[in-house]
Each structure stands twice: as structure tokens, then as C-alpha cells.
Amino acid sequence: MFEYAPAPESRSVVDLKPSYGLFVDGKFVDPADGGSLKSINPASEEVLAEIAEGGAQDVDRAVRAARRAYEKTWGRLPGRDRAKYLFRIARIIQERSRELAVLESLDNGKPIRESRDVDLPLVAAHFFYYAGWADKLPHAGFGADPQPLGVAAQVIPWNFPLLMLAWKIAPALAAGNTVVLKPAETTPLTALLFAEICQQADLPAGVVNIVTGAGETGRALVEHAGVDKVAFTGSTDVGRAIARSVAGSGKKLTLELGGKAANVVFDDAPVDQAVEGIVNGIFFNQGHVCCAGSRLLVQESVADQVLESLKRRMGQLRLGDPLDKNTDIGAINSAAQLTRIRELTEAGAAEGAQSWSPPCPLPERGFWFAPTIFTGVTQAHRIAREEIFGPVLSVLTFRTPAEAVEKANNTPYGLSAGIWTEKGSRILWMADRLRAGVVWANTFNKFDPTSPFGGYKESGYGREGGRHGLEAYLDV
């Protein structure tokens, strides 16, 4: 046997403080009402730092700072000067990427291989990409002189903390807006390190404000009368509540919500690569991915073969210490999420689907869930309809391309989909019919700052990324 020795990435590169304040008007400040939260390492349950919990007064202070910065400095800067700051931030992110990656893995539980090779390169790429747009807005297709909206309130989730920050902040700043961002309560640390990067880049005070806290802080932010734009990524339930609360207020809104993507494997698929794509589709980031390929639709004539290959491949997945460079599957982000995953998988078993996991010892401390597939799943099962947001795949079969489309679209969501076939014409035929914002062909979970991303139906509205992503932050 060839056993890989432990290969842990050193955490000494990260300089954690015992507690963090709110980042308002260019400075770290204590919250007005003094509340605090603890951010823990989900792989060990160790407390990493104390985080301020922003109240209504703190949110108000941050929104006022953002307004001042919008009116006095940022909103008046020519695009090429905004670009200069964004390029500078992008370069600092690259320079400090190891530090950011280690901190992201500590706080979120995702494997260092992913934070190092996926999250951080994409974060830097987003800032570089939108830095390039800042002085070219008249050529973006939104009129000769498109104007920013003002102050953007941004609320982001815990699955890709820094990447979601980049998706929100980079286009907002490029278009000339200022922002108040609330990171998720379980993963605020990289956003706070990003605040330090804003200081390092000499970004004018108040352009970026970061108010940490939980649901109430987020509610105070999106409901604040001083914001012109609300951008939210997270669950459909919260997204619905936000849509209700901003209705009639004149605020512009973009929502990027849940998903239950179909990954459709045809009988002429490149099997080995399709299996990789299935694994990457659902086990990437422990399945904490809104566009995860959580429903495998496989053509019945090759289902046994594909499942046999998939099980063999799942046997190779290495679950454990997120900071070990050979780890494929890290920790579930929180106790609450683990409970949710358990509840839905128990429902799957109770409804008669068969679950399978490879032999996979779980560490004693921390939040863990073994990679799991359910076979014998039908459209009527909860695990085929509800977003599990964990490393759990539901396997369904189909007989014809038309049936594949019907089943793939038979969901309240519509964020993403995957097609695996060697036949180019079928890819185009399917892509025309799938009601999903992103359709991947012979790949899955590929992201690029030039490509717009967003959903149909209950997966939300508005687009992030690419030229389209600018529209959400311009008065058009």
C-alpha cells in the first residue's frame, strides 16, 4: 500500500487576532451595542476569534460612511482611478493568497487544495477582470455614460466567503458604487482580512465597509433606507424575505439563491471524465455549492456501469484535515448545516431510497459527513427536490433525451445543469431546453469572471460576472 504521509499546510502564515471589530469608514471600530459572536474552526470546533455583532446603529454608521464616500470621493473619481485601486487590491490578493487560503480553510473547513487552487485564483481574477471595466463602462452596452447606483448593501453566504465577497465588491466598485458588506456569521474572517487589504491598498475611507453579524444584522442592512441596491447570495427562504422587505422601496435587487442542478449523463458520454465531473459536481466544497450537480440523471442503459465507476472513484476521496494538502473533502461548515444534511438524508432513507458511502472514518471532533450517494431515487423524494447543500448525490435514471430534459427542469430551481455526451448536436439541443442559468457541457463547476452566473425561478434573478454583472450596479 502507498500511504500518503500527512502534508499539512502551515497555519503560521496567518496572524489571527483574538477579537475583531467592524470595518467602518476605513477603520476597525467597536460595535455600538457591544455584541459579539465566536467564529470557530469547523474541523476542530476550536474558537478562532471573537467577532463583533453589528446592531442597527452600527449598520447606520456604515451606510452613512458609504454615502459620504460615494458623494465626496469614489463617486467622483474617474474610472481609470477606480481601476488603479482595484488592480492594486487584485495584486495584493495574489501576493497574500497563501495567507488568505489558509485562513479560508481554517474558518470554512474547505480543503486547502480548493482554497489554494480554486477560490483564491478566482478571487484575484474577479478583481482584475472588473478593474479592467472601470474605465470602459461607456462601452459595456448600457448607454454612453452609465451612472452608478450609490450605496450597495451586500449579504454573502459561508460556502465561498472570499469568492462571494469578490463577486459582490469588484463589480460594485468598478461601476462607481460604495458598499456595506455583511459576511456570513460562521465565516467572517477572510472578509476582515480583506478589510486590512483595503487599508493596505489606500482605498479611500468608507468605500468598503464590513459589518459582521448574523441574520438580524443582515436584515438591518438590507432594510436600511439609505441603501440604493441590495445584493444577496444565500438560501431561497431568506432571499424571499428580502424581496418582500425591499418591495416598493425603489432599491434595486439581485438574488442568487439555491439550486438542485441536474447533471445529465448520456450513454455516449466519456465515462471516466463524466465520473470525474459527477464527483466534482457534488463533492467539491463538501457539496456546499449552490450550483452543485446534486441530481445525477443517468441514462438507464449505462446506469450500472456509471455507478460502478462512480463508487470506485468515491473510494479514492480523502476526507479529513482541511489543511492537509492531500485532503479532498473537508469539514461541514457548521453544526446547524450538519443537522440539516442529516435530516434530509434520513428522510431519503425513510422514503425508500438506498444510500451508499465508501468506507470513510470520520474525525471525532468537528462537523463531518461522509460522501454519500442515494440510488433508487424518484422525482417524488424530498432528496430529489430539496437542496441538501452537502456531499449527498441523488441518482435518477432516464430513457430518452426528452425525458432527461423533462426531469431536469422539473424542479423549483434553475441555477445550473450539466450535460455529458460526445455528440455536439445533442449538447446544443439540450442547452436550448434546460431552464438553468448555466449549462456546462462535458465539465462541471467551472467558473470564470468573464462568464455571467445566475438563476431561473427560485434560484433568483440578476446576473453576476461578465459584462452582464455590471448591469446590477449601474443605473440602466
Partner 1 sequence: MTATATSARSDLSELGRSETALRTFLHGLPGVDQVGAEQRAAQLGTRSIKTTAKAQAIDLAIGMVDLTTLEGADTPGKVRALATKALRPDPADPSCPHVGAVCVYPAMVPYVAEVLRRSEVHLASVATSFPSGQAPLEIKLADTRAAVEAGADEIDMVINRGAFLAGRYSEVYDEIAAVKEACGGAGTGGQGRPRAHLKVILETGELATYDNVRRASWLAMLAGGDFIKTSTGKVPVAATLPVTLVMLEAVRDFRAATGRQVGVKPAGGIKTTKDAIRYLVMVNETVGPDWLHPDWFRFGASSLLNDLLMQRTKLKTGVYAGPDYFTLD
Number of Cβ within 10 Å of residue 220's Cβ equals 22
Burial 134-153 (b: 16+ CB within 10 A, else e): bbebeebebeeebebbbbbb
Give the range of 60-68, 305-313, 348-356, 404-412 binding partner 1 by CB under 8 A.
Answer: 305-313
Does the protein bind partner 1 through residue 451 (CB under 8 A)? Answer: no
Residue type, 139: H
Residues sharing a CB contact under 8 Å with residue 431, sequence separation 6 or more, in sequence order: 419, 439, 441
Q: Which of residues 399-438 bind partner 1 (CB under 8 A)?
A: 422
Q: Is 360 marked active-site? A: no
Strands of 19-20's sheet in order across = 19-20, 47-53, 35-40
Task: Tell me the closest approach of the beta carbon of residue 446 to partner 1, in angstroms.
Answer: 9
Q: How far is residue 239's CA from residue 387's CA, in Å, rounded to a whole number? A: 14
Say if strands 47-53 and 35-40 run parallel, antiparallel, or are unpaired. antiparallel
How big is the site for partner 1, counted in residues (CB under 8 A)? 30
Does the protein bind partner 1 through residue 448 (CB under 8 A)? Answer: no
Does the protein bind partner 1 through residue 249 (CB under 8 A)? Answer: no
Backbone CA torsion sign across 246, 248, 254, 256: positive
Q: How far is residue 178's CA from residue 176's CA, in Å, rounded to a whole number? A: 7
Grid coordinates belonging to 315: 473510494
- Per CB under 8 A, the list member of 30, 45, 268, 300 interacting with partner 1 is 268
Does the protein bind partner 1 through residue 71 (CB under 8 A)? Answer: no
Nearest one of 183, 187, 245, 257 to 38, comparing CA atoms: 187
Please give the biggest Cα pair distance in the chain. Answer: 65
Does the protein bind partner 1 through residue 271 (CB under 8 A)? Answer: yes
Give the range of 4-12, 39-47, 341-349, 429-437 binding partner 1 by CB under 8 A.
Answer: 4-12
Nearest one of 458, 473, 249, 282 to 369, comparing CA atoms: 282
| Catalytic position from the list 9, 53, 290, 387 | 290
- Per CB under 8 A, the list member of 249, 326, 378, 451 interacting with partner 1 is 326
- Per CB under 8 A, the list member of 19, 57, 200, 305 interacting with partner 1 is 305
Task: Tell me the closest approach of the beta carbon of residue 15 to partner 1, in angstroms.
Answer: 24
Closer to partner 1 by Cβ: residue 75 or 277: 277
Closer to partner 1 by Cβ: residue 196 or 276: 276
Give the range of 132-140, 225-233, 250-258, 304-312 binding partner 1 by CB under 8 A.
Answer: 304-312
Site string for partner 1, 107-136 (x = CB under 8 A): ------x---x-------------------
Does the protein bind partner 1 through residue 32 (CB under 8 A)? Answer: no
| Catalytic position from the list 256, 386, 464, 471 | 256
- Using CA atoms, how far residue 453 sits from 171, 204, 291, in Å, is 13, 30, 10
Q: How far is residue 188's CA from residue 126's CA, in Å, rounded to a whole number? A: 20
Closer to partner 1 by Cβ: residue 141 or 315: 315
Q: How far is residue 187's CA from residue 160's CA, in Å, rounded to a whole number? A: 9
Q: Is 9 marked active-site? A: no
Closer to partner 1 by Cβ: residue 241 or 317: 317
Does the protein bind partner 1 through residue 340 (CB under 8 A)? Answer: no
Give the range of 207-215, 240-248, 283-291, 308-316 binding partner 1 by CB under 8 A.
Answer: 308-316
Task: Tell me the closest approach of the beta carbon of residue 50 to partner 1, in angstroms.
Answer: 33
E strand or H helix at 35: strand 35-40
Does the protein bind partner 1 through residue 450 (CB under 8 A)? Answer: no
Closer to partner 1 by Cβ: residue 83 or 303: 303
Does the protein bind partner 1 through residue 300 (CB under 8 A)? Answer: no
Closer to partner 1 by Cβ: residue 226 or 358: 358
Strands of 151-155's sheet in order across = 27-29, 22-24, 208-210, 178-182, 151-155, 229-233, 252-256, 460-461
The burial class, CB within 10 Å (0-12 / 13-18 / 19+), for 91 is middle
Q: State the residues that interact with partner 1 by CB under 8 A.
A: 1-7, 113, 117, 267-274, 276-277, 302, 304-305, 308-309, 316, 325-326, 422, 442-443
- State the catalytic residues: 256, 290
